[in-house]
Structure 1
Amino acid sequence: MSASPATHAPPFINALLGENKSALLLKLVEEMDASALHWLSGYTAGLAVRAPQTTVVPVTPVPVAAPAGHFTIIYGTQTGNSRLLAERLKHQVESAGLATRLFRASDYPVRELAKEKLLCVVISTQGDGDPPDDARGFSEFILGKRAPRMEGLRYAVLGLGDSSYPRFCEVGRRLDARFAELGASRLLERADCDVDFEPVAKGWLDQAYTLAREALTPQATVTATVVPLREPHATPAFTKEAPYTAEVLLNQRITARGALKDVRHLELSLAGSGLEYAPGDALGVWPHNPPELVASFLSELRLDGEAAVTREGRTLPLARWLSDELEITRLNRPFLERQATLSGSAALHEVLEPGRTEAFRALLAGHQVIDVLRAHKATWDATELVQSLRRLTPRLYSIASSPKRVGEEAHLTVAVVDYTVFDLRHFGAASYHLATRTAGTDTVRIFIEPNERFRLPQDGDKDVLMIGPGTGVAPFRAFVQERAETGAKGRNWLFFGEQHFRTQFLYQTEWQEALKKQTLHRLSLAFSRDRAQKVYVQHRLRESGRDVYEWLEGGAHLYVCGDAQRMAPDVHEALVDVVSTHGGKSREDAHAWLESLREQRRYLRDVY
């Protein structure tokens, strides 16, 4: 649908460009559709970045139409995708000259909800239906008894999630229903985005922009001063959509022979890329699926890997689709529903029935796509298979280094998924891809994923408590390096856990050296399978509870990284016990006290 610009340019455009150039601009854009207009805005922004700075010419105040109100956008994110989409919507709405406010959910003043007229929430769901950490307080307020009536509100909710989990986009669904229950009316029906969120998100954002623009129609005329735009920040040369090809400098196994896990330390070169990161950030890795798994797919389905298949205007051999473009290790509900239909399997249909959450969760946790293809035989043709599998997406790994220590490098700590069950070898797409890279020869396609909600305290005198069992220790290696390089005076205490001391003590010599140099002041260890009674990091927290509470009461910052399903909840319950026991608080007050640390950004988690 083509745009419908005004017959005459707005006064502030005439004031900025002059009448002749305004007329040319109007003529240029009047036949453009939405996609062309978005392209033009990006193109002209790029020209502005390269253009030399010019002298700012004062502009005479001119009468312009004042919008009817503002559009508030709130996002909650664990990996950054919700933030990116919220920022995109903000840019779209602001490009129409409309007033927009953007908030991280943890920063939004919930007392203003009763006064909001136009609201959009972009929020992800983590693990088994949980909100992201930065949206816990916001979600609890909306879903709780203190939420106000909102009869005057028009709202829209965009949910992000992963259909590999039973409660797909659960947080978005609950918030959407709750707003309606509180009397608000929908500006736009909720949409649920899977891991490959772009196909759904793009159309939804465009609709939200159009409806917001219609809702914020000008009402009154006021006097405003038009000021030339600031020079925009240059877009990074390498992004998720245009990754950097990094050379592998080192690929070293850091668990001993005989260990139950193969954990790798990788060092990747960023030399000359211009990529920058801070401790706490993640590295996005675009993997290729294992060739052996691709061969198993083709063999099981009796399909020709050379067969040409077209999807979304691209034609590739089937083997190439399975290797480079599609997700073939992780199950998700849409694929399972199609497999159930094609196979006619009563057992698979039963697992997918509403209310069978535990059975569905067990299927997702214990099986990969190839297992379902073998267990529930079905006939697929190449085209339908390619259409039914979701797009391969990058995996995010916490960066295990500080650039102040390692320069133009990024280090990763990767647990390799590679096991045999049902007489079939199983792989993790990204971990296996990384584990099989040869240093000095191979490369990896990467990008930086900023994680501003998982940062060291700006005040280097603050103490830091870090809880990171297994590969969750990765960002804390970066934290300790950073604190050492910056000369931070605060103390550092690390809780680390694994299965066996002798074979799985990750970065043992580095921690010992840090203790010797007093850049790490305390190290609490839990190796669960070295004794009959299993011991985990949460047990060590309770054992050192008095000191843990004293550190936190004294202003220490607390960080947790690792498994979201079991470790993070268990650690939180241990912290509640510590605060209750040593702070003399009820369990309810202990929960509230920890929540206050979250609000102060002193209790931060990076869980997955």
Structure 2
Amino acid sequence: MQFQVMNSPFKQEQADLLNQVLPSMTENQKIWLSGYLANSQVSSTTATADPVIENVLQTEASTQAGVQNATREVTILFGSHTGNCEALAGEISEKLKQQDYKVTLSVMDDFKPKAIKKVQDLLILTSTHGDGDPPDNAMAFYDFIHSKRAPALDDLRYSVLSLGDSSYEFFCQTGKEFDERLEELGGKRIYPRIDCDLDFEEPAEEWFDGVLATLNNAKQVSVEGRNDVQQDQTDKVMNKPMYSRTNPFKAEILENLNLNGRGSNKENRHLELDLEGANLEFEPGDSLGIFPENDPSLVAKLIEEMEWNPEEHVPVNKQGELRPLRDALTSIFDITGLTKPLLEKAAQLTANKELNKLIISEQQEELKAYLYGRDLIDLVQDFGPWNVTAEEFTGILRKIPPRLYSIASSLKANPDEVHLTIGALRYDAHGRKRTGVCSGQCAERSQPGDALPVFIQHNSNFKLPENPDTPVIMIGAGTGIAPYRAFLEEREETGAGGEAWLFFGDQHFVTDFLYQVEWQKWLSEGVLTRMDVAFSRDTSEKVYVQHRMREKSHDLYQWLQAGAVIYVCGDEKYMAKDVEAVLLTILQQEGNMNKEEAETYLTELRKQKRYQRDVY
């Protein structure tokens, strides 16, 4: 195809050069050049260019780009405990599809591990659970990749986004291990791994932009702008505001009750929130996120210690938005959690060398001990003087992370409402009384008529069985009872026929039997088939839910053999581990299995989504 000078703005020597270069260009080069010219806005100055040039550099390039992108498949695998990685993976999948990529999206447990050999472009999004462990729904894939059965992956391109909490010792450990292992197997990085703290939105967006730029093999295409326009158009068509983690809904508090009786050692609040007009949907097993505010008295104390002006304006985001310091410390910045990364940044702002000694000390247990139970006020009091401006200091702080609470109600049973069960955290540490940021706000500073910024956090890993006739076994302690209230409200509303067995534990029968009247009503109506309770402080020897499970081991095993789904909700470090240990014992005793066979049985239950945990 020869370029002609006639009716074009090009000189003969330019046409000769074009005729030499164009035939020798690869399709990728033509695509790149087309994108370069488009981004340089050359098209507006070459409107009279010869049709041949337009055909070669625009029509052909865009067609080939569409074919190339349409045939390139990107595999997205996620491991998620609370649902953040799952939600991000879904968003990224949609963005790639809008760029004409073919996308395979899967939770790791549903992905056939051996199929990894056929994957060319792989994106992994994973959280880290417990003491550096992979999430439950990533364990099988994690074990395979780290085993000797894992194949060479010389043709694989990959990138890892890791979510975590820097206050934990093994911050983003699972993501780091996936990243290193895929490299060991021969994979090449599309884009470097990014480890995200609790405020993960901006680094996650940076990671995706970098991944997309490499996948496009050209100057980065700004997808975000187009998506915002498309979303805006959709919103206008639907005439409905879209509320999410980045745009929370202000939910009015309808009820705020203390569930515990007089004399209890605990204070568990039952909150009912109004969602009318929010257009939010959720299912039993999902969570509600709340963006809390810091205690105003702590904010005032910090400002006083640092001798700052509370009305001074400081930037609160990368866009440079300014807020008064008091407001920023109340509703934007985390002032209650200390982490090693924060201490490392703070050490650059003080002349006190003791902070550096603490950070670099070989005795890491000393650092852990200092971080536990202390907040920003402790830090500034212990390691002054601080000759630093408010803007410099707030610049090292992370945002207040939202708190997630298992939803304790069914949307079918309570339209336009959401109910929560929140345990108020109070304790003494290092000479001061302390309260939980969100639980303290809900218990002490939130009244009916007030509003809380909320969003829905979907959790596909903790769901009622699709078949309503499937029996369910629900195990929870304390506020771990919350999702089971939602389960039974839903089953009552839908007329589910499967049997339901609840194990519940707390300290005292008289003061701590949460939602007692409701369980008794459901028992009498047959919505709840069986209930076993354990109140640890009512007997000379402490009795917990795992002890009740052991007492009912024969029946429990029979339910499992009949296809029951078993749920565990509560404390991960103690309660959930003890429950799992008892489950393994029951399988060995009642099923005549050895330890390895019992572990395999439980693993299969997990894969079949018949063993689901919501632990924290």
TM-score by length of 1: 0.83
SS in 1 for 2:413: helix
Q: Could you tell me how far apart the structure 2 residues matched to 1:111 and 1:477 are?
A: 40
Report Cα offsets for 1:230-280 as digits up to 9, x if no partner.
x98968622112221111111000112222221100111112332222111
Rate the CA distance shift 1:523–1:345 in 2: closer, same or farther, 3 A. farther
Read off the aligned partner of 1:487 and give its amino acid letter. G
1:412 counterpart SS class: strand
Aligned partner of residue 406 in structure 1, secondary structure:
coil
SS of the counterpart of 1:242? coil
1:436-463 deviation per Cα after TM superposition (whole angstroms, max 9, x unaligned): 3554421111111221221101111111
Q: Decide which moves more: 420-429 or 251-260.
A: 420-429
CA contact (8 A) 2:374 2:429 kept: no
Whether the 8 Å contact between 1:243 and 1:446 is mirrored in structure 2 is yes
One-letter amino acid of the counterpart of residue 451, structure 1: N
- 2:252 corresponds to which residue? 247
Change (3 A) 1:439 1:367: closer
Aligned to 1:321: 328
C-alpha distance in 2, partners of 1:494/1:437? Answer: 33
Contact preservation (8 Å) 2:507, 2:537: yes
Q: Alpha carbons of 1:66 and 1:204: their partners in 2 closer, same or farther (altered >3 Å)?
A: closer
Q: 2:419 aligns with which of 394, 398, 411?
A: 411
Secondary structure of 2:377 counterpart: helix
Among 422, 429, 449, which residue is 2:437 paired with?
Answer: 429
With 115-124 and 96-105 compared, the bigger mean Cα shift is at 96-105
Q: Supply the AA of the counterpart residue of 1:237.
A: M
Q: Does 2:132 match 1:132?
A: no
- Relative to structure 2, which stretch is displaced further, 95-104 or 233-242? 233-242
Does 1:384 pair with 2:392?
yes
Kindly indicate whether the alpha-carbon contact (under 8 Å) linking 1:92 and 1:209 is maintained by their aligned counterparts in 2. no
Counterpart code for 1:339: A
Which of 257, 266, 273 aligns to 2:271? It is 266
Residues of 2 paired with 1:65 and 1:374: CA distance? 62
Contact 1:399 1:410 in 2 (8 A): yes
Structure 2 match to 1:294: 299
Deviation per residue, 1:493-516 (Å, 9 max, x gap): 111111222222211222122222
When structure 1 is superposed on structure 2, of 367-376 and 323-332 the one drifting more is: 367-376
Tell whether 2:345 aligns with 1:338. Answer: yes
1:96 to 77, 95, 99: 99
Q: In the alignment, is the contact (CA less than 8 A) between 1:289 and 1:323 conserved in 2?
A: yes
Asked whether the 8 Å contact 1:419–1:427 carries over to 2, the reply is yes
Amino acid in the other structure paired with 1:368:
D
Distance change in 2, residues 1:347/1:559 (3 Å):
farther
> Does the 8 A contact of 2:284 with 2:487 survive in 1?
yes
Shift of 1:558: 0.8
**Does residue 1:496 correspond to 2:499, yes or no?**
no
Cα pair distance change 1:304/1:583, threshold 3 Å: same
CA contact (8 A) 1:437 1:443 kept: no
Counterpart in 1 of 2:152?
A: 149
- Residue 370 of structure 1, CA deviation: 2.8
Q: Which residue of 1 aligns with 2:379?
A: 372
Q: Name the residue aligned to 1:548.
A: 556
SS of corresponding position for 1:565: helix
Aligned mates of 2:389, 2:571 — CA distance in 1: 37
- Give distance in 2, aligned partners of 1:523 and 1:180: 50
Contact 2:83–2:460 (Cα < 8 Å) also in 1: no
Distance in 1 of aligned mates of 2:602 and 2:371: 32
Question: Does the 8 A contact of 1:283 with 1:449 survive in 2?
Answer: yes
Mean Cα displacement is larger for which, 523-532 or 340-349? 340-349
* 1:121 partnered with 2:129: no
Q: CA RMSD in A?
A: 2.7
Runs of 4+ residues deviating >6 angstroms: 25-29, 231-236, 344-347
SS at match of 1:403: coil
| CA distance in 2 between partners of 1:410 and 1:594 (Å) | 33
Pair 1:457-2:460 in alignment: no
Matches of 1:117 and 1:549, distance apart in 2: 44
Verify: 1:557 aligned to 2:558, yes or no: no
Q: Superposed, which structure 2 residues align to 1:117-266 within 5 Å?
A: 117-214=120-217, 237-266=242-271
Compute the displacement of 1:29 (Å). Answer: 6.6
2:572 aligned counterpart, secondary structure: coil
Residue type of the alignment partner of 2:498: G
- 1:307 matched residue in structure 2: 312
Aligned counterpart for 1:84 among listed residues 75, 84, 87 = 87
For the structure 1 residues 320 and 600, does the alpha-carbon distance in structure 2 shift closer, same or farther, using more than 3 Å as the test? Answer: same
Shift of 1:344: 6.3
Q: Which of 381, 385, 395 is equivalent to 2:403?
A: 395
Aligned residues of 1:465 and 1:494 also touching (Cα < 8 A):
yes
Aligned to 1:245, the other structure's residue is in SS state strand
Distance in 1, Cα, partners of 2:361 & 2:584: 34
Task: Answer with 470-479 or 488-497: which moved more.
Answer: 488-497
Q: CA deviation at 1:572?
A: 1.3
State whether residues 98 and 213 of structure 1, in contact with CA within 8 Å, keep that contact through their aligned partners in structure 2.
Answer: no
Structure 1 position 31, deviation (Å): 5.0
- Given that 1:248 and 1:437 are in contact with CA atoms closer than 8 Å, whether structure 2 keeps it comes out as no
Say which SS state the counterpart of residue 287 (structure 1) adopts. Answer: coil
Q: SS in structure 2 opposite 1:404?
A: coil
Structure 1 436/602 Cα, relative in aligned 2: closer, same or farther at 3 Å? same
Provide the C-alpha distance between the structure 1 equivalents of 2:392 and 2:349, rounded to a whole number of angstroms: 11
Alpha-carbon spacing, 1:485–1:93, altered in 2? closer, same or farther (3 Å): closer
> CA, structure 1 residues 27+373, in 2 after alignment: closer, same or farther (shift >3 Å)?
closer
Given that 1:473 and 1:496 are in contact with CA atoms closer than 8 Å, whether structure 2 keeps it comes out as yes
Task: Extract unaligned runs of 5+ from structure 1.
Answer: 1-6, 8-24, 33-61, 216-230
Question: 1:471 maps to which residue?
Answer: 479
Question: Counterpart of 2:8?
Answer: none
Q: Which amino acid aligns with 2:177?
A: R
Moved more, 246-255 or 421-430: 421-430
Check whether the contact 1:75–1:103 (CA below 8 A) recurs between aligned residues: yes
The 2-side partners of 1:172 and 1:540 are apart by 37
Question: Are 1:112 and 2:120 matched, yes or no?
Answer: no
Counterpart among 71, 74, 79 of residue 77 in structure 2? 74
Question: 1:493 aligns to what SS in structure 2?
Answer: strand
Q: Select between 553-562 and 67-76 the one with higher mean Cα deviation.
A: 67-76
Alignment CA distance shift 1:93-1:383 (3 Å) = same
Name 1:13's counterpart in structure 2: none
Distance 1:193 1:253, change over 3 A: same
Residue type of the partner of 1:599? K
Q: 1:170 to 1:357 in 2, by over 3 A?
A: farther
**Match in the other structure for 1:278:** 283
- AA aligned opposite 2:285: G
Q: For the structure 1 residues 530 and 340, does the alpha-carbon distance in structure 2 shift closer, same or farther, using more than 3 Å as the test?
A: farther
Amino acid at match of 2:141: F
